[in-house]
Amino acid sequence: MKKILLSLLIICAAFGCFAQPPQFQMPENTATFKDINYAGDDKEAHRLDIYLPDSPQNKFKTIVLIYGSAWFSNNFKVIAYQSLGKALVDAGFAVVSINHQSSSEAKFPAQIHDVKAAIRFIRANADKYRLDTSFIGITGFSSGGHLSSFMGVTNGLKQATSGTTTIEIEGSTGGNLEYSSRVDAVVDWFGPVDMSRMEKCQTVKDDKSPEAALLGFAPADREDLVKLLSPINYVNSLCPKFLVIHGESDDIVPNCQSKYFAEKLKQAGVLEEFVSVPGGGHGPNTFNEQTFKKMTDFFKKESAPKTRIIENGGSGEFKAVMTEESSLAAHTIFRPQNLNSFSAQKPLPVLVWGNGACSNSPFEHKNFLNEIASHGYLVIATGYIPMTDDWYKGKMSSPQQQIEALDWAFRVNEDKNSPYYQKLDLKHICLSGMSCGGLQSLFNCADKRISALMICNSGLFNDQNAVSAVPGMPMPKKDKLNDIHTPIIYILGGKPDIAYENGMDDFHRIKHVPAIAINLPVGHGGTYLQPNGGEFSVAALAWLDWQLKNNVQASKMFLGKKPGILNRKDWTIEKNAKVK
């Protein structure tokens, strides 16, 4: 009976049923969060539902789901979940099933703008709805497959042109334009992707076709719009991976559509697999346990923690890797590649790091942090893993993410199923950060779990210069310095550093714990982007080796009448009376 109902739903969706047959009843909406408007208006077409797995897990990697309706419907999000969503939730994903405007409400590319608006909304409200947006996959069937594929082939694209016609791809529906509409993987279920070959795999459909309704023109009359509507024309090597599934007996969207698409994706190096289902129709028989498993396995593979080797693993004894951990969303881990070198008898000290500009990615500091990890440290950096060298654009990080990092370290060290079990030295933890990340560290300085502080290119603002701070930065008063209970070092860029005055003022106020300030006149950017993090990594490693590993030789970089740091070009040092 369930299979019969599902077939009816798919057929109804494919043809865009508006008047429901007497025996048909719209399925119950069982979403965790229902009918959320993602565009800031009152349109039914701009609502979404969010389904979460029944799990105490804090956040879930996310799949956007789009129904098929030949673009005729604006309210089939529940049908989409009934068709595909449950398999995804059972596999551990959050599912966001979205509505979009129908072709009778708005013409192409309005539907593209709707989906991109929904994705930006998801990122802007991830914490509220327990969504881990470090991975957003997308899937849909029929016209929903078209829209899903369109998202995958237009990551980062603002406009597109064919002939004399230019269209907006991103659009501004719903705002949240500071967030990305990027997707990380696509499953296309029998979507029409080449409108120039929809009729018998050779030519365009007529003026009564769904494409004509979507465009507002007969396809034959607007070759430029037909090209712009077709995802196949946007495929490139920078697209995310695609899984394409299509029934061989589909009499609505011909199987050749996916065949052509898969060939183009394969040429670009972004095709995972093309599954052509013998006897499969436009949903019936194509939707089955095997193809659902193909989908969930693909999304699991693509959402698995990402890894990247930076600068051949660093120059230290323990070649490092930059990676994600699924149990710690919105953080990046730098650690030795081989954790078997560490144990309860030889544990890894921990560095918790906050980024400059409160960036939610350590893209600017990856060389520096990777170098530290290669010398035998676990580094937990705030924000999403930088898989490219592009500058991060997105939501700012928060001081709470450092606390999340500390909590995670203690949790996995006691988890027998974790690769970090009994391998972390939780008596030796340094809290650190650059610029805004330094302010985050000072904001959290009272945490009793930390044993050292390292503040880079940063310092608390005073009442006079607080107006110059970037909005969104944590802004503790100077009396916050009284909460410091560990040794602290300020690593600054000398007088050219915009944080020099703040940092040195902090240093001169700290009398109750050992405090050191060192300066290299390179300005606010430090040397983080230089090979192996440059001079700042040399100074930072000496501090960490001294404070977290009790390395006497490392302490000589800062102690004595002529500290070793003065033997390095252009460095200066000041120490308070507590430094012995």
Q: What is the CATH number of domain 2-194+233-303?
A: 3.40.50.1820
Distance CA 328, CA 405 (A): 8
The C-alpha atoms of residue 203 and residue 195 are separated, in whole angstroms, by: 8
CB-based contacts of 306, cutoff 8 Å, min separation 6: 323, 324, 385, 387
Place of tokens 């011909």: 254
Domain boundaries, the chain: 2-194+233-303, 319-575
Mean pLDDT by 10 residues, the chain (580 residues): 44 42 68 95 96 90 96 94 94 97 96 97 93 93 97 93 93 92 95 94 93 94 94 92 97 96 95 96 94 97 92 98 88 97 97 96 97 98 92 88 97 92 98 98 98 98 82 91 98 98 98 98 98 98 98 97 97 97
| Residues 440, 455: Cα–Cα separation, whole Å | 10
pLDDT given for residue 313 in this prediction: 98
DSSP string, 134-190: EEEEEEEETHHHHHHHHHHHTTT--EEEETTEEEESS--TT--TTS----SEEEEES
Give the pLDDT score at 6.
Answer: 47
Closest of 114, 109, 98 to residue 176, by C-alpha? 114
Angle at which helix 436-443 crosses helix 400-413, to 10 degrees, equals 70
CA-to-CA distance for 481 and 441, rounded, in angstroms?
A: 11
CA separation for the pair 563, 572 (Å, rounded): 10
Domains 2-194+233-303 and 319-575 share a fold: yes
What values do phi and psi take at 303, rounded to 5?
-95, 0
Of the candidate CATH numbers 3.10.20.90, 3.40.50.150, 3.40.50.1820, 3.40.50.720, the domain formed by 319-575 belongs to: 3.40.50.1820
Helix H or strand E segment including 272: strand 271-277
Distance separating alpha carbons of residues 142 and 185, to the nearest angstrom: 17
Planar angle of CA 198, 201, 204, nearest 5 degrees: 40
Strand duo 185-189 + 515-519: pairing: unpaired
Query: Is this structure's pTM higher than 0.85?
Result: no
Residue 3: per-residue pLDDT: 44
What pLDDT was estimated at residue 156?
85
